[in-house]
Amino acid sequence: MNEYNFNIEEMGGDYYSDENPSPKKPKKHTALKIAASLMAMTLVSAGSIGIYRSVTEGKPVDSSTEVSQTVEEKEPTTIENMNMLHIEENNSTVLTTEEIVKKVMPSVVGVKSEFEMQQQNNNSFGNGFGGFGDIFGYGFDFGNSGQTQQQNPIGTGTGVIISEDGYIVTNAHVIYDSQSGLGLAVGIEVLVGDDTYTAEVIGYDVDCDLAVLKIDAEGLTAAEFGNSDDLNLGEDVTAIGNPLGLDLMNTVTKGIVSGLNRNVTINDKSMSLIQTDTAINEGNSGGPLINKYGQVIGINSSKMSSSGFGSASIEGICFAIPSNKVSDVVEDFITYGYVKGKPQLGISCRDVTEEISQMYDMPLGVYVVEVTEGSAAEKAGLKKSDIITAVDGENVKTAAELTAQKNLHSAGDEIELTFMRNGEEMTTTLTLDETAAPVE
């Protein structure tokens, strides 16, 4: 019998499962590990879904779409005339900004995602709420108090064409909302010039924040991708995107590479990103970061912003997913429908916070709520109520830290877990399972 006797549902913090990695309770913001109390990471998608977050802040909403991270592997797909995203060698011709824009602009598209939610009507807000209704041309009427009403908030972002026959890469958070629990968009449209297409989701992964869409089109202009490993600090870069929605489509901004291999945590997902001072705003998500040769070397995804009353303003700290990472993920999406080799433990868990530790005389760590039958965790001997305190000798106090340590490995790797059971410290060796991203 376990010595820790309490109601797990009364524990603070978010509930986490590596089979369903979206927290049950939506977060108000995400944070970079450094100075987390003063700064917040903003995922740069835009549109009326932003209004929804404003008027429902602190009100959990059940998602109608659950993320099921373990799916049956499909047969590898062969696509005729498919120009896979390949990394090209840098050429010696440095382009002017005008030449870069002329080369890449035809490959940049707008992405419009429609989400579905059920809202309990307790208040009434019209157009112009907090200024947002007028800006985005969208307002909510929460009249008829006590009734449930379906709403369809809209999110917008940017995408990059990667093949002549309609494959497009963008951010996962442009089409899948995990912050507010709305799940996968019920409808996605892609704007290519003056034409609008309905898009199919080929694959998406919230951990690496990438998605591949497919539209029924031919003769498109595919972007040329460069080698992100060749980037240098201070190198000029250009961004093209749709800040604040599709009314400002194809906005061009310019800056430099401010940092390389930045370890950033967004929504409890650790990522290695390119830092740039190029102006990136809501709506730029999924758009290209371009080097001086006119090659896409990153997909813009997030920025640092102020968090909390009285916080100092933050300018010019933006992030992009490196093109080499994008290339690997895109190839897996198109071939298998998910990212191969992602590791999975097979547990659901909660953080043991300082408050819980003191209240129940428990060690700081990650409390195992449930162990999936047949999983790597069960095979390694983990049980419900164990408290994981270290991975390969590195202390972990939160599910985010546990995930970060796990993600240093691939499926099939062995890791050593240290955990507490009935007041006794124990260790076990675990062989990681493979996790597959959902395809809907």
Find the catalytic residue in 285, 301, 302, 348: 285
- What tokens were used for 250? 């194809």
332 is catalytic: no
pLDDT digits (tens, 9 = 90+) for 323-342: 999 998 999 899 888 888 88
> What gap in Å lies between CA 212 and CA 153, rounded to an integer?
22
Closest by CA to 370, choosing from 353, 388, 346, 351, is: 346
Find the catalytic residue in 209, 268, 328, 433: 209
Domain boundary among 339, 363, 389: 339
Residue 3, helix vs strand vs coil: coil
Distance of CA 6 to the CA centre of its chain: 33
* Residues 313 and 395 both lie in one domain: no
Residue 359, helix vs strand vs coil: helix
> What gap in Å lies between CA 103 and CA 81, rounded to an integer?
22
* Residues 40 and 112 both lie in one domain: yes
CB 48 within 8 A of CB 290: no
Confidence (pLDDT) at 342: 84
* Residues 176 and 204 both lie in one domain: yes
pLDDT digits (tens, 9 = 90+) for 275-320: 999 999 888 999 999 999 999 999 999 888 765 555 567 788 999 9
> What gap in Å lies between CA 10 and CA 281, rounded to an integer?
38
Q: Give how many domains the chain has, as a whole number.
A: 3
Strand spans (E) along 250-357: 251-266, 269-276, 288-290, 296-306, 318-322, 342-344, 347-352
DSSP tally for the chain: helices H, then strands E: 8, 29
* Residues 322 and 198 both lie in one domain: yes
pTM: 0.70
- Does the residue 290 lie in any domain? yes
Which helix (H) or strand (E) covers residue 403, if one does? helix 399-406
CB 375 within 8 A of CB 345: yes
* Residues 81 and 211 both lie in one domain: yes
- Does the residue 1 lie in any domain? no
> What gap in Å lies between CA 380 and CA 393, rounded to an integer?
17
* Residues 79 and 191 both lie in one domain: yes
69 phi and psi angles, rounded to 5 deg = -80, -10
pLDDT: which is higher, 263 or 222: 222
- Does the residue 23 lie in any domain? no
285 is catalytic: yes
Find the catalytic residue in 17, 48, 173, 307: 173
> What gap in Å lies between CA 370 and CA 365, rounded to an integer?
15
Question: Is the pLDDT reported for residue 233 higher than 70?
Answer: yes
* In the block, residue with structure tokens 């602009």: 105
* Residues 328 and 220 both lie in one domain: yes
* Residues 272 and 303 both lie in one domain: yes
What mean pLDDT value characterizes the chain?
Answer: 77
Q: 400: number of CA atoms within 13 Å, CB side?
A: 16
173 is catalytic: yes
pLDDT category of residue 117 using cuts at 50, 70 and 90:
confident
Closest by CA to 388, choosing from 349, 357, 414, is: 349
- Does the residue 2 lie in any domain? no
Confidence (pLDDT) at 175: 95
Domain hosting residue 39, numbered range: 30-116+152-339
- Does the residue 302 lie in any domain? yes
Most confident among 78-82, 221-225, 263-267, 406-410 (mean pLDDT): 221-225
Strand spans (E) along 180-248: 183-184, 187-192, 195-198, 200-205, 210-214, 225-226, 236-241
pLDDT digits (tens, 9 = 90+) for 185-216: 999 999 999 999 999 999 999 888 999 999 99
Distances from the Cα of 358 to the Cα of 233, 237, 352, 363, 422, angstroms: 46, 50, 10, 9, 17
* Residues 276 and 423 both lie in one domain: no
- Does the residue 65 lie in any domain? yes
* Residues 92 and 144 both lie in one domain: no
